[in-house]
C-alpha cells in the first residue's frame, strides 16, 4: 500500500510553508495559519524539507546558540558605560547598581565560557593507605592471631586488593 501523500507537500502554499519552517516559525504557528495539524508540519519538516532549507534552519539554530555569550558581552559593555557615567557624575548609588550588574554579567560570562564550574567536586581518597583502614587491617590480623591459617589467608586476600588511584 502506498504511503499517504504529505499534506504540506500537496499544499498550494508549500514554498511559503517551507520558507517559514527554515526561518524558525513554530510548527503550531504554521499549522494554524495554513489549516493543518502540527504533526503534519513536523513530519514534513523532518522528512521532506530540502537539504538547503534544513541547512539554513541549522545555521539559524547554531547562530542562536552562539549569541548567548555575545548578548552577555553586550550587556557587560552597557553596564560598564553606565558605571563610568555614574562615577563621572558622582552618582554613587547608580555606580553601585552598575557594579552589581557587572559582577552578575561577569559571572554569567564565566559560566558560559566554562571558566566557572559550579558542579560539585568529588574527591576520591585511596582508602587502602588511610590511617583508618590500616588500623582496621591491623586489628583484623591481631584477632586472627590464634588462627594462623585464617590469618595467612586474610593477609593474602588483603594484599591482593587492587591499588586505587587517588
Q: What is the pLDDT of residue 91?
A: 94
- Cα dihedral sign for 108, 109, 114, 117? negative
Burial class (CB in 10 A: 0-12, 13-18, 19+), 79: buried
CB atoms under 10 Å from CB of 159, counted, come to 7
Q: What is the pLDDT of residue 111?
A: 83
Distance CA 84, CA 102 (A): 12
Q: What is the pLDDT of residue 35?
A: 92
CA-to-CA separations, 39 to 3, 27, 163, in angstroms, rounded: 16, 8, 56
Regions of the chain short of the pLDDT cut 70? 1-4, 52, 57-67, 163-166
Domain positions in the chain: 1-49, 67-113, 127-159
Q: What is the pLDDT of residue 25?
A: 83
Amino acid at each position: 500500500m502506498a504511503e499517504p501523500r504529505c499534506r504540506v507537500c500537496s499544499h498550494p502554499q508549500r514554498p511559503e510553508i517551507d520558507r517559514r519552517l527554515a526561518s524558525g516559525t513554530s510548527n503550531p504557528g504554521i499549522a494554524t495559519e495554513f489549516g493543518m495539524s502540527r504533526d503534519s508540519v513536523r513530519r514534513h519538516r523532518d522528512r521532506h524539507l530540502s537539504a538547503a532549507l534544513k541547512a539554513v534552519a541549522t545555521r539559524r539554530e547554531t547562530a542562536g546558540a552562539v549569541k548567548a555569550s555575545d548578548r552577555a558581552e553586550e550587556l557587560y559593555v552597557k553596564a560598564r558605560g553606565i558605571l563610568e557615567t555614574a562615577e563621572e557624575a558622582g552618582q554613587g548609588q547608580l555606580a553601585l547598581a552598575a557594579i552589581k550588574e557587572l559582577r552578575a554579567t561577569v559571572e554569567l560570562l564565566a559560566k558560559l565560557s566554562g571558566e566557572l564550574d559550579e558542579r560539585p567536586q568529588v574527591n576520591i581518597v585511596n582508602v587502602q593507605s588511610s590511617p583508618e583502614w590500616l588500623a582496621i587491617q591491623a586489628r583484623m590480623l591481631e584477632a586472627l592471631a590464634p588462627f594462623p591459617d585464617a590469618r595467612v589467608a586474610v593477609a593474602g586476600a588483603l594484599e591482593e586488593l587492587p591499588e586505587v588511584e587517588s
